[in-house]
Structure 1
Amino acid sequence: MHGTYKDDAEHEIINLISNADTHSFQAVSWAAKECDQQKGKGDNMAVAYDKTKLVYQPNYPTGKKIEWTIGTIMISYQRPRMQAPVIVMNTNMERESGRKAQLSNITAAKTVADVIRTCLGPRSMLKMLLDPMGGILLTNDGNAILREIEVDHPAAKSMIELSRTQDEEVGDGTTSVIILAGEVLAGALPHIQNNIHPVVIISAFKKALEDALKVVEEISTPVDVNNTEEMLSLIKSSIGTKFTSTWSDLMCKLALDAVRTVAIKEEGTEKTEVDIKRYARVEKIPGGEIEQSQVLDGIILNKDVTHPKMRRRIENPRVILLDCPLEYKKGESQTNIEITKETDWNRILQIEEEQVKAMCDKIISLKPDLVFTEKGVSDLAQHYFVKANITAIRRVRKTDNNRIARAVGATIVNRVDDLRESDVGTKCGLFNIDKIGDEYFTFLTKCEDPKACSIVLRGPSKDIINEVERNLQDAMCVARNVFYSAKLAPGGGATEMAVAVKLEEKAKLIEGVEQWPYRSVAEAMEVIPRTLVQNCGGNAIKTLTQLRAKHTAGEHSFGIDGEAGKVVDMKDYGIWEPSAVKVQTIKTAIESACLLLRVDDIVSGLSKNRQPAPQGGAPEGMEQQ
């Protein structure tokens, strides 16, 4: 009987006891029912009844129920054994997954955006931050603020990275990109709560991004980089929202002069190289007035001459740049010298002098007026230079040496023996050393076509000069972007509203669920003009309705006047922004929103001081890893 299935077993047992009373059938059906229950619990097996356990008792008294004993045995019975739970993740972890993780990311992104929402536009508020060293940071620059804020949430850290990326890439729009990214994610929130899959939302966002970039391209206009007036008005609109807006004409001129100085056209191509980070150095000198700031047609160094008898003013100097010490070269490894007689010691000193003299003679043979070295200059070398009427300046930074080389036309040499006439720089018009405040500064000015420059910033306090520098960097980045891509888009939220209106129209043509996330991007774009109105105390609903009507009628140059909160034509006000900044802002905001929506699990390790009590595992006294 073993090995037969339940139905067959039951059939045979029923045949055996076909003449018995109803209790027999109840007993058989009870056994079958128990087998069914076991099978329902996941026991996938053959069930049979053991007929040997079926006992027929005919001698029982009349009226007494006949007892039947039905035993069941399980063939191939594979009951799952009870196992201890397998712990894969470290118990000292915080974990959020699924929708909870997505909602957490969206909340974190919105929180970061709300922090700097008031820093947008000409009526923006300043943030005062106390850094860990006790210094005060007073700024409305989005990147500078977020750089100083410490956050724990990974999504918030990702948002702060956006601002840094935007600053490095285009130098402007750091506040806009955070606000826009936060609003795009906020627009995705209701769709996630309505159980629309994140992949569907991301797909709609990607379509909206493509269409938005096309709209920016359509409404952009070309600009002539050689037209000073157009360039100045463009830069002015960029720093009009900053602390330096009072001195905007001066700042614009400084930025444009600096960028034009370092711009180099690559031979054989139309491409222009503008490396403001390396070749346009800002020298901050506290004291004086902001109006005294200027762009030098050359280089300034915070250095003095090495010997008081050296010349402090030279016209049309011949300049040599070195990357080696003018000192006796000691052995690379430790050297021991054994001296047997006193004359040997004198000979050692003589060898040192001869080596230094040989280096100086080689330099003097080229008849330079100025020698700059990144390393040290020994007293003996200074003596020879003073006798030859040569001025030497030592321990110049590598970056400063590179700028001097570009400004005066010299070549940096690593060994004195390699010096040639072609390495001498002759493009400098004037070398002089001036004392400003308590410090001495070296000036190399009146350079002939310098491809590097220094910007001198003056101001009443260090904090103000730091803020002026941040604003100037933004202005230079705007000018650089126009040199790279000579196209302008209307400012004052006009570009964003144009994109919003166009996307709203296209959303009606999209079928299916994707229409709703696509439409939410159009609504998110309106956050920039809305924030501009709110920051200057205007009526956001009324003003945005007027602006939307203008753009629906095809007048895409209308935007928000950030000073008064009114709808005006950006062409009349001359408020333009490089289209490169707008493209980068929209691209970064939407792509980062897609990235955060794709996250469905957040696992974060707890810091040592926040660890919960150990739940078994490590013995007492041992540190939990």
Structure 2
Amino acid sequence: MDGLDRIANVTREVGRSDADELTVDAGVALSEMLRTTLGPNGRDKMLVGDGTVVLTNDGGSIVDRMDIESPAANLISDVARAQNGELGDGSTAAIALAGGLLDEAGDLLDDGIHPTTVVGGYREAARRAGAALDDVAWTAGDDETLRSVAATTITGRWDDARTASLADLTVRAFRASRDRGRGRLDDVTIHGFAGGATTDSELLDGLVIDTDASSTSLSEVAASVPRHVEDARVAVVDDELTIQSPDSVSRYTVEEVEDLERARTFEDEEYRRFVEMLTALDVDVLFCQKAVDDRLRARLAHEGVLVFERTRQDEIHKLERTTGATPVMRLDALDAAAVGRADEVERIDLGDGSFVIVREASSSQVSVVLRGGTDHVVDETERIVVDALTLLDAVGDRPTLVAGGGAAEVALAGDLRAHGRGIDDREALAVDAFADALETIPVALARNAGLDPIDTLLDLRARHAEGESRAGIDGDGGVIADVADRGVVEPALLKRRVVANATDAATLLLRIDGIIETESSDGGVGEHDHDDGAPAGGGVRADTGGYPWAIGH
């Protein structure tokens, strides 16, 4: 991959490059590599550290797996992580824009424009772009609009059928958690397993626990335990259920038969007491974070109590929210107030997996069960759904939208060029350069959609000049159209954060004054030896593991 090669080479250029050239080159190299992932036909593959070949078109996933040595490129990659963590989408666009800004800045620096002037112009352009977004945005909040937002996020990762299916599934999960209560993503549980088609994925009402992955059910006594319990009383124990013994004694020795009988009697009494405590409170289902003694499980199964052990801590918290049960550290502390309830608890088998579903009408908890042909498909699908849910959660029920397909970027670029004509100093050049950088996104979309990038950009500019502010690239049809009518829309908040994050990264790198060349751990300096023993450009050597570091104003 050319982009990776360039990033790897950037670190070796310290001895013969000034600070501006070094930092600009690192950002542009990373940006060029990720631009191939933009759009419906974007694809890229990479070799990760353990030798595994990963095929993906998710820019955030690529950045997470990359082993980047250049501090400058690392800073740009942080843009993707911040963007993806905050909104779940836009990581590739943020890096592409940051790289475009650095590329344009390189030309300005070559023309003698001072970095401070470039930074000032970029800041003014970012401010103006944020204001201009309000002029091309509109507000909508129906489910069809939310499905379009989710589908735009998913587009390019799956085909049309699976994109539509996952978008609908995501919106239904989002709506269910919002309409019933707190509206937090914690109320949406996602499970995935290989087997079946992606379109077989479903939304289940309530909390779904994968007993194969997170806890162990009563497999050996399952015949005597019901698979479905209605109006269930639920207890949650945040500890191990067994007979307690002194920590320093793992076993005891008996000398007479009577001693053994007394020990057995004591254990029987303790087991009976545990069972009586639960049955006295009419407990139908017991969840335990740790192990449950085999004999106790058998006795509880005989009484018809459904027991699950080794339930994860996060699922304990979700059970508390779903059923109203209060986790107790010891079974002795369990009382009627700590027992919760559920409309029904059911054990089901999906594919090769075993699950328990806890349903309660008053709870906002819902679960998404994802299917896929292979584990890799399931993992990618889960990443897609999480990203889409994160974006929907960030924009809310009535998001402010802009047209996708590069339409918003072309509209902003046109506004910036008009705004730049009213600026009297050299910052106007940086404002125009910012506009050019914005248009690298529709250019990348056109290239990945099989269109001629230059002709497409000229056509987009002409249509926007005629007032078609929603004209963009329909990647599926390979044409320029009103993409908003075709459901290609994005939240204005997403565009705002892409511009802000990319601008912050680019301006931070442009403020770097010099490079401190550091000694490698073997005593050498980078990969270059200098006859006079001094670093190029008057830098200062320090033994910090062989990495070059930058210093700013």
Query: Structure 1 length as normaliser, TM-score?
Result: 0.75
What are the ranges of 5 or more consecutive residues in structure 2 without an aligned counterpart?
Answer: 1-10, 532-542, 546-553
When structure 1 is superposed on structure 2, of 574-583 and 465-474 the one drifting more is: 465-474
* C-alpha distance 382-445 of structure 1, shift in aligned 2 (>3 A): closer
Q: Which residue of 1 aligns with 2:488?
A: 575
Q: Secondary structure at the match of 1:320?
A: strand
1:406-425 to 2 correspondence within 5 Å? 406-425=321-340
Q: Which residue of 1 aligns with 2:404?
A: 491
Of 305, 311, 329 in structure 1, the residue corresponding to residue 225 of structure 2 is 311
* C-alpha distance 362-583 of structure 1, shift in aligned 2 (>3 A): same
Aligned 8 A contact 1:326 1:375 in 2: yes
**CA RMSD across the alignment:** 3.1
TM-fit CA distance, 1:522: 1.2
Q: Which residue of 2 aligns with 1:390?
A: 305
* C-alpha distance 610-369 of structure 1, shift in aligned 2 (>3 A): farther
Q: Which residue of 1 aligns with 2:516?
A: 603
Residue 299 in structure 1 maps to residue 207 in structure 2: yes
Q: Which residue of 1 aligns with 2:167?
A: 252
Give CA deviations for 1:472-520 in whole Å, capped at 9, x if unaligned: 2232223223326621111111111111111111111112121111221
* C-alpha distance 387-246 of structure 1, shift in aligned 2 (>3 A): closer
Of 40, 47, 51 in structure 2, the residue corresponding to residue 122 of structure 1 is 40
TM-fit CA distance, 1:133: 4.2
Aligned 8 A contact 1:97 1:602 in 2: no
Q: Which residue of 1 aligns with 2:549?
A: none
TM-fit CA distance, 1:430: 3.9
TM-fit CA distance, 1:248: 1.8
Counterpart CA distance in 2 for 1:383 and 1:574 is 56
* C-alpha distance 99-605 of structure 1, shift in aligned 2 (>3 A): closer
TM-fit CA distance, 1:151: 1.5
Q: Which residue of 2 aligns with 1:67?
A: none
Query: What amino acid is the match of 2:349?
Result: D
- Of structures 1 and 2, the one with the larger relative CO (CA 8 A, separation 6+) is 2
* C-alpha distance 461-134 of structure 1, shift in aligned 2 (>3 A): farther
Aligned 8 A contact 2:229 2:284 in 1: no
Q: Which residue of 1 aligns with 2:376?
A: 463
Give the count of matched residue pairs. Answer: 514
Counterpart CA distance in 2 for 1:219 and 1:412 is 51
Aligned 8 A contact 1:407 1:453 in 2: no
Q: Secondary structure at the match of 1:602?
A: strand
Counterpart CA distance in 1 for 2:16 and 2:435 is 27
* C-alpha distance 280-97 of structure 1, shift in aligned 2 (>3 A): farther
Counterpart CA distance in 1 for 2:179 and 2:329 is 26
Q: Secondary structure at the match of 1:291?
A: helix
Counterpart CA distance in 2 for 1:544 and 1:484 is 33
Q: Which residue of 2 aligns with 1:588?
A: 501
Q: Which residue of 1 aligns with 2:438?
A: 525
Q: Which residue of 2 aligns with 1:537?
A: 450
Q: Which residue of 1 aligns with 2:4?
A: none
1:195-594 to 2 correspondence within 5 Å? 195-224=112-141, 227-263=142-178, 273-275=183-185, 278-303=186-211, 304-306=216-218, 307-308=220-221, 309-316=223-230, 317-331=232-246, 334=248, 354-434=269-349, 436-437=351-352, 439=353, 441-444=354-357, 446-483=359-396, 486-594=399-507
* C-alpha distance 442-465 of structure 1, shift in aligned 2 (>3 A): closer
Counterpart CA distance in 1 for 2:283 and 2:502 is 55
Q: Which residue of 2 aligns with 1:168?
A: 85
Counterpart CA distance in 1 for 2:86 and 2:20 is 28
1:185-196 to 2 correspondence within 5 Å? 185-196=102-113
The alignment-based identity, stated in percent, is 27
Q: Which residue of 1 aligns with 2:535?
A: none
Counterpart CA distance in 2 for 1:465 and 1:338 is 50
Aligned 8 A contact 1:322 1:374 in 2: yes
Query: What amino acid is the match of 2:408?
Result: T
Aligned 8 A contact 2:406 2:473 in 1: yes
Counterpart CA distance in 2 for 1:290 and 1:205 is 43
* C-alpha distance 118-388 of structure 1, shift in aligned 2 (>3 A): same
* C-alpha distance 265-285 of structure 1, shift in aligned 2 (>3 A): closer
TM-fit CA distance, 1:590: 0.7
* C-alpha distance 337-542 of structure 1, shift in aligned 2 (>3 A): closer
Give CA deviations for 1:580-620 in whole Å, capped at 9, x if unaligned: 211111111111111111222333645546846999xxxxx
